[in-house]
Amino acid sequence: MIKFNLFGKEEGALVHFLKKDDISNSSYKDYLDKKGFEAKLGEIIYLPSTNSNGEIFVGLGDSEITLEDIRNIFFDLGNLLRDEKENIASVNIPDFGLCQRKTIMAVYEGLSQGEYSFTKKTKKEDEILDLKINYTPPRGKEEKLQEGLDIISDMMDGVFFARDLVNETGNVIYPETLANITKEKLESVGVKVTVYDEDKIEKLGMKAFMAVGGGATNRPRLIVMEIENKDVPKTALVGKGLTYDSGGYNIKSSSGMASMHSDMGGAGTVIGTMYALGKSKAKVNVVAVVAACENMISGTSYKCGDIIDTMKGLTIEVKNTDAEGRITLADAIYYATNNFEVERVIDLATLTGAVTIALGEEYTGAVTNDEEFYNKVKDAAELSGEKIWAFPYDEDYKKLNHSDVADISNTSGRNAGSITAGLFVGEFVKEGTKWVHLDIAGTAYRSKKKGYLPKRATGIHVKTLYNLLNPIDC
Ligand code: BES
Ligand code: MN
Ligand code: ZN
């Protein structure tokens, strides 16, 4: 836990921020020189004291600082405080020339990011030290600043919840448990949650979704989450919810299969977002849909070459059972945009390996039918320090999803794999609905840590969605 106190008394470790030019005038110059401290951006050193609290020096470089720099600086600072067992600190946040509220929010986020961990080791690890941070802002804006801190606290709860769901493995999280955990957690913050079991899913006519889940002993669940506010147009969120993807009869290689409990990264993000929004009592109008199932091999699995029906009525030729995500999303996005009156929809999915070939673990790949809506999503992502990049939306790519026997094929060869997958999903969006598709296969689950992003689940785009749906001014 972090207590971030506005107007707390000055106590504990003292944190100094220095730009490159500040070193020559500093009373600590000799010490800093001896330590080789050059105040490079992100450089950080600790000066211990035997009889009182230590002091910390943080470098700010000599160029402009971004919100993302602030998150990373304070992530490192929080970790240093915890490592040195300095659980109380006073900071004097410099004026970075940015919005003061967003600055303090980035500070608090960075400090908070260091609190996340996921382990199933039986040997108890050191507990993460609680921190108390005191900061005295200029008078007059304390209410707005406190509101910003509260928002970050809720947002980080949502991010951490999403990470936990995605980090948990397939023996723990399967459709039924995902539905139960979601219901319990989200209802506790006032979000309406409806769970449909397979009989109900069948009655709804979601034949494509049922086909993908057909081989699994753990049966599918459709999870619908709602926060209503009739004053604003409704947004739908749809998250890919493959709690495990073996590939089916087009079985994955063993290295590819080992992390496929993370194939519900999209679901994790939308569930985490709804939790954060609920906790904040945000006045938003959102419906979130997760079609949760496992892609398994058994006598009841769907097979290569099957031609299956969808809720929309279009037929799909299953050329590859490992391209299952788009098939579940077909029904989920059709349901979300037809059963609810939504103006716009965002789907998030760990959909293609191809997106990681194109953009690595840095950028989420996007496909959209509405530039204006996409730009809003992109702005929210930028504010959040979460990067997205749009692939071209071009009718010509749609031809690649051609099937000789059915209305559409679920695979189309190696070329433009993330675009064809996105456009496949787009076929099932209700006509006239603004749509952004986010392929998070590269960004939802990391092979190594980077800055405040841990290895494994990142909870990517909980912040983006929160900031999009519940924007704050400066
Ligand atoms: N869940 C995978 C995509 C994925 C791959 C996510 C690696 C995270 C890491 C998806 O269901 C899949 O298997 N896609 C196939 C599609 C192909 C058969 C057209 C892929 O990308 O190989
Ligand atoms: Mn797959
Ligand atoms: Zn998958």
Residue 253 CB contacts under 8 Å (≥ 6 apart), including other chains: none
User: CB atoms < 10 A from the CB of 315, how many?
Assistant: 16
On the CB side of 31, CA atoms within 13 Å amount to 10
Fold held by 2-115: Leucine Aminopeptidase, subunit E; domain 1 (3.40.220)
Render each residue's pLDDT in the chain as its tens digit; 474 residues.
999 999 988 999 999 999 999 999 999 999 999 999 999 999 999 999 887 889 999 999 999 999 999 999 999 999 999 999 999 999 999 999 999 999 999 999 999 999 999 999 999 888 899 999 999 998 888 999 999 999 999 999 999 999 999 999 999 999 999 999 999 999 999 999 999 999 999 999 999 999 999 999 999 999 999 999 999 999 999 999 999 999 999 999 999 999 999 999 999 999 999 999 999 999 999 999 999 999 999 999 999 999 999 999 999 999 999 999 999 999 999 999 999 999 999 999 999 999 999 999 999 999 999 999 999 999 999 999 999 999 999 999 999 999 999 999 999 999 999 999 999 999 999 999 999 999 999 999 999 999 999 999 999 999 999 999 999 999
Say how far apart CA 240 and CA 186 lie, in whole Å.
Answer: 18
User: CB atoms < 10 A from the CB of 297, how many?
Assistant: 15
Question: Among 322, 418, 445, which residue has the most ligand 1 atoms within 8 Å of its CB, making it the best to mutate?
Answer: 322
Whole-number Cα distances in Å, 110 to 11, 70, 103: 21, 7, 11
3-state secondary structure of 343: strand
Could you identify the atom of ligand 1 that is nearest to the CA of residue 445?
8
Say how far apart CA 352 and CA 308 lie, in whole Å.
Answer: 21
Name the residue among 81, 115, 111 with its Cα closest to residue 93: 111
Domains of the chain by residue range = 2-115, 155-469
- Minimum-distance ligand to the CA of 441? 1
| pLDDT recorded at residue 140 | 84
Q: Whose CA is nearest to atom 22 of ligand 1?
A: 353
Q: Is 245 in the pocket of ligand 1 (CB under 6 A)?
A: yes
Question: Distance between alpha carbon 377 and the CA centroid of its chain, in Å?
Answer: 13
Say how far apart CA 40 and CA 209 lie, in whole Å.
Answer: 52
Could you identify the atom of ligand 1 that is nearest to the CA of residue 262?
8
Say if CB 422 and CB 367 are below 8 A apart.
yes
Structure tokens, 426: 């787009």
Q: Is 326 a known active-site residue? A: yes
Say how far apart CA 239 and CA 151 lie, in whole Å.
Answer: 23
* DSSP bridge partners of 131: 2
Question: Among 249, 257, 263, 411, which residue has the most ligand 1 atoms within 8 Å of its CB, making it the best to mutate?
Answer: 263
Say how far apart CA 439 and CA 266 lie, in whole Å.
Answer: 9
Determine the residue type at 288: A
User: CB atoms < 10 A from the CB of 257, how many?
Assistant: 14
Q: How far does the centroid of ligand 1 lie from the alpha carbon of residue 350, in Å?
A: 7
Structure tokens, 420: 């064809």
Backbone angles phi, psi at 365, to 5 degrees: -95, 135
| pLDDT recorded at residue 124 | 85
* DSSP bridge partners of 439: 349, 365
Say how far apart CA 269 and CA 382 lie, in whole Å.
Answer: 17
Domain 155-469 is of which CATH architecture?
Answer: 3-Layer(aba) Sandwich (3.40)
Say how far apart CA 342 and CA 293 lie, in whole Å.
Answer: 25
Predicted TM-score (pTM) of the model is 0.98
Say if CB 94 and CB 39 are below 8 A apart.
no
Q: How far does the centroid of ligand 2 lie from the alpha carbon of residue 263, in Å?
A: 8
Marked catalytic residue, from 185, 221, 240, 326: 326
| pLDDT recorded at residue 379 | 98
Structure tokens, 345: 């929809």
Cα separation of the two ends of the chain: 26
Q: How far does the centroid of ligand 3 lie from the alpha carbon of residue 417, in Å?
A: 13
Question: Among 255, 260, 352, which residue has the most ligand 1 atoms within 8 Å of its CB, making it the best to mutate?
Answer: 352
- Minimum-distance ligand to the CA of 365? 1
